[in-house]
């Protein structure tokens, strides 16, 4: 989900009436500081996951290099 959609969804929620063709959007959170903190925390968590994944890839590449070196030395 892109950032603009996340912000829009954070600030509004659809209220379904008895008739599903009629939808009303109500604003639920106008505290920009709270939104900014939530988005920043989400960004930090995403960056941590990316860093962990990149570290795992680097570790696996090192293991593969060690096995290749052992195979070449035989």
pLDDT tens-digit profile, the chain (74 residues): 577 777 777 666 555 455 555 555 555 556 777 788 888 999 999 999 999 999 999 999 999 999 999 999 87
Parent domain of 58:
31-74
Same domain, 24 and 35: no
Model pLDDT, residue 55: 98
Gap between the Cα atoms of 29 and 39, Å rounded: 14
27, β-bridge pairs: 12
* Number of folded domains that form the chain: 2
What confidence score (pLDDT) does residue 4 get? 75
* Domain shared by 43 and 55, yes or no: yes
| 38 and 50 fall within a common domain | yes
> pLDDT value at position 64?
97
Q: Are residues 45 and 73 in the same domain?
A: yes
pTM above 0.85, yes or no: no
């Amino acid at each position: 989900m892109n950032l603009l959609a996340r912000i829009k969804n954070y600030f509004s929620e659809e209220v379904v009436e008895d008739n599903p063709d009629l939808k009303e959007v109500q604003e639920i959170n106008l505290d920009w500081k709270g939104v900014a903190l939530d988005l920043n925390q989400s960004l930090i968590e995403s960056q941590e996951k990316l860093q962990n994944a990149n570290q795992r890839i680097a570790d696996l590449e090192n293991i593969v290099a060690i096995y290749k070196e052992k195979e070449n030395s035989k």
